[in-house]
Amino acid sequence: MGRNILKSSVQNASFSIIFQILFRCITFVLNAFIIRTVGQEVLGIMNVRLLLLESTILFLSHEPLMKACLTDTKSHNWAQVINQIWLSVPMTAVLSLVLVYIWINILSPTGDNYVSQYRLGCYSIALSCIIEQMTQSVVLVAQSYCFVKLKVVLETIYIVSRTVIFVCTVVKHPNDAINAFSIAQLGSAVILCLSYYGFFFWYIRRLNLVKKGTTVKSSLFTDMNDFPFSSIMEFFPGIMENGERILNQDLCLLTISFAKQSIIKQILTEGERYVMTVSPVLTFSQQSMYDIVNNLGSLAARFIFRPIEESAYFYFTQMIKRDEPVDKQDQRYISESANVLSHLCNIVTCIGLTVVVFGQSYSHTLLYLYGGKKLVENTLPVTLLRFHSFAIVLLAINGVTEGYVFATMNNKQLDRYNYIMVIFSVSFLVISYVLTNALGPVGFILANCFNMLARIIHSLIYINKKYKGTVYKPLEGLIPSKKFLLTLAVSGVVTKISDSLISSIIVHILIGAVFFLASFSIWAIDNKSILKLGYNKYKRRMSTKTD
């Protein structure tokens, strides 16, 4: 591909962070609106039960195919890849039939006044998932050819449209909130699908004119001579000319490996929701409260760590070959990727530790500012948020290290890891059930911590073996400097004293701000080479725009 992989990966992470901030801000405001308008029980049905159905369908049908098809896109036979990515549509339809039946007929019922709305919600989730999967061929091409801004713009339109449709419907019909949720899901899915196809219909027509020399060439069409599509119809299966097999055998095997892995990873990712759904130890109202605190506690993970993980995975898949030892690959790529991995490990570890330290002193303050006195009357939300801060540092490290592992393992290694993931999943479910019954919602967080710790240990062992015998030691990035750790320790002690003794929220926040800036300054001094590199790139980019 003509476009720079590292640059596009960094851009993708940056724009995704901005998008996640926008998305979470909308979600928090929307949750507060739902609680004040229709109550906590409805929020629990939508945010836990129905969104879990959507997550399960999409993750199992979309994740394996997309991960496999993103591997080494420079060497793709695009006719085969398009055929393969469209397999997600029938897969989604079959999964939807099975899961919707389970959600409606087997899982614990909702209140009588929500039965019909809940049923419609299940059907709308299934249909919206099928519509989204019909967009995946276009999404795959957009990501492979580094249309970073397009993804952010269209997904922002998707989130905003879903929110606007929902709010407008609920304001008019407050007793039909779940029906409003269903309409919003379907409407936004159609808008996203049409937007992607509409853009590429326009783009391909303009690109064809540029190639013919009948229109002026702009930056949007730079280095796109290798773009393989000449018609929007070629995004559909069986249209592009293909003298080989209908599907690529290697990608099929890789998809099967990722499919096994996705089942396990989905259980690990959404395990607490499955426990709440299958064997409800919490009411829908309690589930909604846990969900709010869980989302609030995962701000850093959703804003920063997940976009970094996704972009890092794409970057490492393009830089490192799965089936060759690192000492036999292009050492320029290996050196750059090892350096990137080390810096990523350092960044996410430092962010995670900062969240742990300040989370102990500012959980009560954050919850009070978000939900008022009612949210902090019970000590449970504050306790949950404090425990979340410990989970976040593990989530940060696991995201980067496991992303590297998945991006560089070959088929045999992925299959072997699937068996290990089965052990992790079974252990997680057992520990989660036991701890939840003993400790309540806190048990969910502790179970997640144990599982992430086990996965991190496995990833560290794999990465260490990968670079054994070479000069590269990327895992050293996991250890912050002593000055930074000392600054964090002092910050933790002072802010904890402030939390206990100072009654003024403003003064408490100001004290935290001072010590946060001190911690960041020490980190910046330790990593001035990274900041200098980023600043120089920014200056060059701005000077290029000015010229």
When mean pLDDT is compared across 5-19, 37-51, 354-368, the lowest value belongs to 5-19
**pLDDT digits over 491-521, tens only?**
999 999 999 888 888 999 999 999 999 999 9
**Residue 112: predicted pLDDT:** 80
**Residue 489: predicted pLDDT:** 94
pLDDT tier at 5, thresholds 50, 70, 90? low
Alpha-carbon gap, residue 140 to 87, rounded angstroms: 13
**Residue 507: predicted pLDDT:** 93
Rg (CA), the chain: 24
> Helix, strand, coil: what percent of the chain each, to 5?
85, 0, 15
**Residue 128: predicted pLDDT:** 94
CB-based contact 428:450 (threshold 8 Å) = yes
Q: Which of the pair, 398 or 40, is modelled with greater confidence?
A: 398
pTM attached to this predicted model: 0.66
H/E segment holding residue 404: helix 379-408
**pLDDT digits over 406-439, tens only?**
888 887 888 888 788 888 878 888 888 888 778 8
Count, residues in the chain: 547
Alpha-carbon gap, residue 327 to 333, rounded angstroms: 11
pLDDT of residue 2 exceeding 50: no
pLDDT averaged over every residue in the chain: 81
**Residue 16: predicted pLDDT:** 63
- Residue extents of the structural domains in the chain: 38-263, 282-479, 481-547
Alpha-carbon gap, residue 109 to 429, rounded angstroms: 22
Crossing angle of helices 379-408 and 284-297, rounded to 10°: 60
**Residue 130: predicted pLDDT:** 94
When mean pLDDT is compared across 61-65, 144-148, 411-415, 418-422, the lowest value belongs to 144-148
CB-based contact 123:96 (threshold 8 Å) = no
Q: Which of the pair, 200 or 32, is modelled with greater confidence?
A: 200
120 burial type by CB count under 10 A (0-12 exposed, 13-18 middle, 19+ buried): middle
Alpha-carbon gap, residue 241 to 74, rounded angstroms: 18
Percent share of the chain, pLDDT over 90: 20
Q: What is the DSSP string of 81-124?
A: HHHHHTTHHHHHHHHHHHHHHHHHHTSPP--GGGHHHHHHHHHH
Alpha-carbon gap, residue 10 to 135, rounded angstroms: 24
Triad 33, 392, 451: Cα angle to 5°? 115
When mean pLDDT is compared across 174-183, 354-363, 409-418, 479-488, the lowest value belongs to 409-418
